[in-house]
Structure 1
Amino acid sequence: MTDVRFLHIADLHLDSPFKGLTSIPQNKWQDIRESTFNAFTNIIKYAIASKPDFVLIVGDVYDGENRSLRAQHLFQKGMEELSSEGIPVFICYGNHDHLSGNWVRFQLPDNVEVFGEEVDTKILEVKGKKVQITGFSYKERHIRDAMHTRYPVANGQDYHIGMLHGSIEGNEEHDVYAPFRKTDLVSKGYDYWALGHIHKRQILHDDPFIVYSGNTQSRHRNEKGLKGFYEVSLTKGQVDLQFIPSSAFIYDEVVVSCDGIIHANELIARIEETLHDYRESNGSAIVEVMLTDITDDTAELLKASTKEEWLQIIQESIREEEHFILVQKLQIEMPKEVWNESSALLQSIEAWDTADWKYALKELYQHPKGSRYLETISSEFVKETKLEVEQLLSNVLIKRSE
């Protein structure tokens, strides 16, 4: 029998502004804008239905240090609903919603325990078992200290859980705050580490479990796939994780084979059918359509119109159904033999490391007004930029083949 069952949630980013979206119909903007709120509502509904022993929220409840009034009100109402069901909640704030921000404060109900800026351990009794939960909230946005060194070693009580909003030391894919190494956390002797900050769901270690639950709602094209949280069942020496989706919609890439396609109506029908099947399986989504298996006939067909015209036709052809599906971008996977015509640029940037990218883009990133809207130069950013270069080249190569 399970001794302890709880929800591990992180990175809600309530009221995220969803920057960088293009080609989105006006009537769908509200659905997208509300998605972080809707994902939170899904979490509260699941918690009320499943009645866990407690809930952990590991940082970045809000998207900004100056938490919006509406986001705080929604969150407070959610905590009240959990309070009415007798479900305790433990919260640590992260780099986005650190304690030094300015906001109108709400009084959270008594079931909610909020960690302060100093590492602290809170104790909860569950089914006769003593559970110790250790964590802290960010005092300011940039926490560079290895905060795990201030966490106590497990003292032999029934269960000890660590909450830590931070990242692995040396990680180049994300801003490194409260850095740690897996061995550092293992050495504490805890039964479970609930991590936040990295938006990709992943299990770093399984003895003990050191886990990122990821964020609860995708906010841009680099956060593809289902998002949600973990339901954790804990007995001594055994952990069972169940991923629970919470996304109001997802970002994804949908691959469409162009094999056998000669005419425009065939291509449009193929894309429509593929997107319909995808929506049936996944619900609402913003997708990039990747056309593959490009033959000479398909290339001839595609070059007859611009990519923008094809994208507009595809968007207009999608039928309105219960779940929306929006095509944000159309991409073309060109055959390898075509790429051989012009690969010098790709070969050049393929050898670049992060320092080379930073040097090449330094003037753009040093711009006093524009730099705040740019993504951090990470391995994911480099990957996406290379893909965009390939797509630009694909347009050039199609035109050159005329």
Structure 2
Amino acid sequence: MLAFRFVHTADIHLDSPLKSLAMRDEALAEVVGNATRTTFRRLIDLCVTEDVQALLIAGDLYDGSQTSMKTARILALEMERLDAAGIPVFIIRGNHDAASKITRELVLPENVTVFPGKAQVVETDWNDHSVAVHGVSFRDPHAPDTLLDRFGPPVMGAFNLGMLHTSLGGAQGHDPYAPCTLAELQATGFDYWALGHIHRRTIHTGTTTVVMPGIPQGRDIGEAGNKSVSLVSVADDGLVAVEERHLAMAQFERLPVECHLLSDWPDLIEALKHALHTARRDHAGEQLIVRPVLTGKTPLAWRAGRDLDLLHAEAQNVAEQIGTLWIDKIELALSAVSNASTGGALEELAQIITQRSLPPDDPAVLEDVERLLKYIPRELRALLGDSQEETAATIVHAMQQGAMEVLARLEETDG
């Protein structure tokens, strides 16, 4: 029988500065910027509609040094909505919150508990069931050492729920923040760990349920796919069930466009248009933001690179006609191939490049990847992939594609 329920979310990043999007399309940046607020309102709607016993926000409610008082007022009003519904809110500050002026200055209603930098426990009752909520906030934007040793032992006879903003054992694109291991979390004896920081959803079940809910609203193509929050139900016997809920207003997706052996430019344009219409039809989200990725071997590879602006304009026209479709950018993953198999030195060189490029797991490649990541802004690192292997493969593919484009130019000159 159901004992109580709560909603667990993290990494909302209200008013996240979307610099990379704004440089390409200010209107798109505005859509995504407003989406974080809309998704937050939907989060509150979910809590009220489902009549949960609490809302848990495991860090990074804000985004760094953003100082929008309009958003601060929205936050206060939404918290008051929960207060009127009798729903308490438990918040820990993450690395972005620690840098936020608003987070420190905003006065919230009494139903909101913001844990300090010293771990504390709040003992309460949810539907006549004893619950102990343990939490600790970041004092500073960086927390290279574990915070797990600041937590006290579980409260006897209560459902013990821990809140921690952590990179766990580390993840691609994320610096180490309050690192710890899954085994260490499970060894605490807590019943549920509400985590935040990593933007990809993961769930570990067992005696201790450990959940990283992921980001509720994607902000760029590196956060593609469905985003979620967790609706958690706890039975009388302590059994935990975690339900994934999607609230995002806008969704990012990479969109493969097959161009294999297309030799006429109108056919390539038609393939692009067809892919865009199909994507909009197949995704139910209100706003769909796509990055078309043209793939395959085609004699149009070099021209596609040269006329990338024309491809984008064609895609933009389709998007404007649909109205709820946006183009992030056009990405080329095309391999050059001649209209006629003439052989010769260029074709032989193309085969060498295709067959003998360095594998992504080559030590030299991995070493170069680590060196490159040091020079890429933190917020852009995930665009290369979410693991060392993905990032290496992305870079190797880009190198190979560049080489093939050079060959295509040579072929144009030779022809």
Contact 2:42 2:247 in 1 (8 A): yes
Q: Quick one: structure 1 residues 332 and 80, their matched pair in 2 at CA, closer, same or farther if it must change by over 3 Å?
A: same
**Equivalent position of 2:353 in the other structure:** 342
Identity of aligned residues (%): 28
Partner of 1:248: 249
TM-score scaled by length of structure 1: 0.86
Unaligned runs of 5+ in 1: 366-370
Q: Write the distance in 2 (CA, Å) between the matches of 1:387 and 1:22.
A: 27
Change (3 A) 1:172 1:32: closer
- Relative distance call for 1:335 and 1:84 in structure 2 (3 A) is farther
1:115–1:137 Cα contact (<8 Å) kept:
yes
Q: Structure 1: how far apart are the matches of 2:29 and 2:167?
A: 32
| TM-score normalised by length of structure 2 | 0.83
- Aligned pairs for 1:21-60 within 5 A: 21=21, 24-60=24-60
**Aligned positions of 1:237-316 closer than 5 A:** 237-259=238-260, 261-282=262-283, 283=285, 284-295=287-298, 299=301, 302=304, 306-316=307-317
- For 2:173 and 2:30, locate their aligned partners in 1 and report how far apart those are by CA, in whole Å: 30
Q: Alpha-carbon deviation of 1:261?
A: 4.0
Structure 1 residues 204 and 346 mapped into 2: Cα distance closer, same or farther (>3 Å)? farther
Deviation at 1:48, TM superposition (A): 2.2
The question of whether the paired residues in 2 share the 8 Å contact of 1:286 and 1:328 is answered with no
1:117 equivalent in structure 2:
117
The separation in 2 between residues aligned to 1:373 and 1:194, in whole angstroms, is: 23
Give, in whole Å, the separation in 2 of the partners of 1:23 and 1:264.
Answer: 29
Equivalent positions of 1:3-402 (< 5 A) are: 3-21=3-21, 24-65=24-65, 67-98=67-98, 101-103=100-102, 105-171=105-171, 173-235=173-235, 236-259=237-260, 261-282=262-283, 283=285, 284-295=287-298, 299=301, 302=304, 306-334=307-335, 340-342=351-353, 346-347=357-358, 350-352=362-364, 355-359=367-371, 375=381, 379=388, 382-402=392-412
Match of 1:294, SS state, is strand
Give 2:101's aligned amino acid: N
Q: Higher mean Cα deviation, 61-70 or 114-123?
A: 61-70
- Equivalent residue letter for 1:351: P
Q: Distance in 2 between matches of 1:361 and 1:198?
A: 18
Letter aligned with residue 161 of structure 1: L
Indicate if the aligned counterparts of 1:311 and 1:330 stay in contact, CA closer than 8 A: no
SS of the residue corresponding to residue 194 of structure 2 reads strand
One-letter code aligned to 1:14: L
Give the residue type in structure 2 aligned to 1:254: L
Partner of 2:343: none
More helix by share: 2
Residue in 2 that maps onto 1:368: none
How many pairs does the alignment contain?
393
Offset, 1:25: 4.2
Greater alpha carbon shift after TM alignment, 315-324 vs 19-28:
19-28
Question: RMSD value over aligned CA atoms?
Answer: 3.1
In the alignment, the residues of structure 1 paired with residue 240 and residue 248 of structure 2 have an alpha-carbon distance, to the nearest angstrom, of: 25
For residues 53 and 372 of structure 2, what CA distance do their matches in structure 1 show?
52
Shift in CA distance, 101/293, structure 1 to aligned 2, threshold 3 Å: closer
Q: Distance in 1 between matches of 2:266 and 2:290?
A: 21
Q: Is contact 1:311–1:327 with CA below 8 Å preserved after alignment?
A: no
Structure 2 Cα separation of the partners of residues 339 and 223 of structure 1: 34
Q: Distance in 2 between matches of 1:355 and 1:389?
A: 15
More divergent stretch after superposition (287-296 vs 126-135): 287-296
- Give secondary structure in 1 for the equivalent of 2:97: coil
Tell whether the 8 Å contact from 1:250 to 1:286 is kept in structure 2 after alignment. yes
Unaligned runs of 5+ in 2: 338-346
2:232–2:243 contact (8 Å) kept in structure 1: yes
Between the aligned partners of 2:192 and 2:397, the Cα distance in structure 1 is 38
How far apart are the structure 2 equivalents of 1:116 and 1:130?
Answer: 22
SS in 1 for 2:162: strand
